[in-house]
Amino acid sequence: MKYHVKILPGALNDAKELYRWIQKDSASNADKWFNGIIEAINSLEMLPMRVPIAPESKLMSLEIRHLIYKKNYRILFTVDDDTVRIYHIRHTARGLMEEKG
């Protein structure tokens, strides 16, 4: 089964901020990072449940999963029916994502 992957505005903003941060050091590295993160996100079209549940799931009302990209970035998402929703892209140095009330 192929899943539809939807990147939510928060994740898109995260990607833009991370891209700009990497770009300060190297434009070519930023481009490689961005292309790679998109490829990683697109890989969730197939078997997204292969990815482990994120620690945040214990704190939230949703089952959050996280795909690790290049050891330092976490792609946080949910799987609902045939849709994967990408909520955030976070550096591993940042704390856990919190539920907004």
Q: Looking at the domain assignment, is residue 96 inside a domain?
A: no
Q: How far is CA 53 from the centre of its chain?
A: 13
pLDDT above 90 for 60:
no
6: closest CA among 66, 78, 70, 54? 78
Q: Looking at the domain assignment, is residue 98 inside a domain?
A: no
Condensed to tens digits (0 to 9), the pLDDT of residues 88-101 reads 999 887 756 554 54
Task: Output the pTM of the full model.
Answer: 0.88
pLDDT of residue 6: 98
The fraction of the chain above a pLDDT of 90, given in percent, is 80
Q: Looking at the domain assignment, is residue 20 inside a domain?
A: yes
Domain that holds residue 85: 4-91
Condensed to tens digits (0 to 9), the pLDDT of residues 3-50 reads 999 999 999 999 999 999 999 999 999 999 999 999 999 999 999 999
Neighbours of 51 (CB within 10 A): 17
* CATH number of the domain bearing residue 19: 3.30.2310.20
3-state secondary structure of 47: coil
Q: CA of 40: how far to CAs of 5, 60, 61, in Å?
A: 11, 24, 25
Q: Looking at the domain assignment, is residue 43 inside a domain?
A: yes
Q: Looking at the domain assignment, is residue 50 inside a domain?
A: yes
pLDDT of residue 96: 61
Q: Looking at the domain assignment, is residue 97 inside a domain?
A: no
Q: Looking at the domain assignment, is residue 57 inside a domain?
A: yes
For the chain, how many structural domains are there in total?
1
